[in-house]
């Protein structure tokens, strides 16, 4: 239902699935994604936390809860969740990317660049990682490397409208 633009129907289905089997992780995770997409990070965090309590070994849940914590302005909790996602699956590129965004927001550009670089090493087609690494490099004064990254991001389909 979410792909069809019917969040109320999706929410109803997730609620029904939870009522039928409160130990089933998937509807909590999916409802958390729904709440995150509806800009309700508090409810998203609650559902992601329930999903983690039921199955603490799924790195996507930590990554997505970390994003919700970012939106709530709780960077330390976000970093903890991104770190846990990485510890569970060191080859999962998204938490490195998200941690890079958070470090850049905090003005920690060396750490941001390091995380974007790790993202690119894991997924060389990740246009946004090149773009934001370029932004961090530009801020640090490395204009040549920034231009290389901006060019690569554009080649991979990045546009300023994103």
SS3 state of residue 8: helix
Q: Where are the alpha helices (DSSP H) in the chain?
A: 7-20, 25-37, 41-54, 59-71, 75-88, 93-105, 109-122, 127-140, 143-155
> In this prediction, what percent of the chain has a pLDDT beyond 70?
96
* pLDDT higher than 70, residue 54: yes
User: Do residues 29 and 52 lie in contact, with contact meaning Cβ atoms separated by under 8 Å?
Assistant: no
Model confidence at 10, pLDDT cuts 50, 70, 90, reads confident
Q: What is the DSSP letter of 24?
A: -
Backbone φ and ψ for 122, nearest 5 degrees, come out as -80, -30
Q: What is the mean pLDDT of residues 9-13?
A: 88
* pLDDT higher than 70, residue 5: no
* pLDDT higher than 60, residue 162: no
- 3 contacts: CB under 8 Å, gap ≥ 6: none
Token pair of 37, please? 């997409």
Token pair of 93, please? 């590129």
Question: How confident is the model at residue 33, as a pLDDT?
Answer: 95
* pLDDT higher than 80, residue 108: yes
User: Do residues 53 and 29 lie in contact, with contact meaning Cβ atoms separated by under 8 Å?
Assistant: no
Token pair of 146, please? 């920034």
Model confidence at 6, pLDDT cuts 50, 70, 90, reads confident
Query: Cα dihedral sign for 102, 92, 126, 113?
Result: positive
Considering the entire predicted model, what is its pTM? 0.91
* pLDDT higher than 90, residue 64: yes
């Amino acid at each position: 239902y979410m792909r069809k633009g019917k969040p109320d129907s999706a929410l109803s289905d997730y609620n029904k699935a939870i009522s039928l089997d409160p130990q089933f992780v998937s509807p909590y995770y999916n409802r958390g994604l729904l709440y995150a997409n509806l800009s309700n990070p508090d409810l998203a965090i609650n559902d992601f936390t329930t999903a983690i309590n039921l199955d603490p070994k799924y790195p996507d849940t930590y990554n997505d809860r970390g994003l919700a914590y970012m939106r709530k302005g709780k960077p330390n909790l976000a970093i903890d969740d991104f770190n846990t996602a990485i510890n569970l699956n060191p080859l999962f590129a998204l938490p490195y990317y998200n941690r890079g965004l958070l470090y850049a927001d905090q003005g920690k550009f060396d750490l941001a660049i390091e995380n974007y670089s790790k993202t690119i090493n894991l997924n060389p087609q990740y246009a946004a990682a090149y773009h934001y690494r370029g932004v961090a490099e530009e801020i640090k004064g490395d204009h040549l490397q920034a231009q290389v990254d901006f060019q690569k991001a554009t080649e991979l389909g990045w546009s300023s409208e994103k």
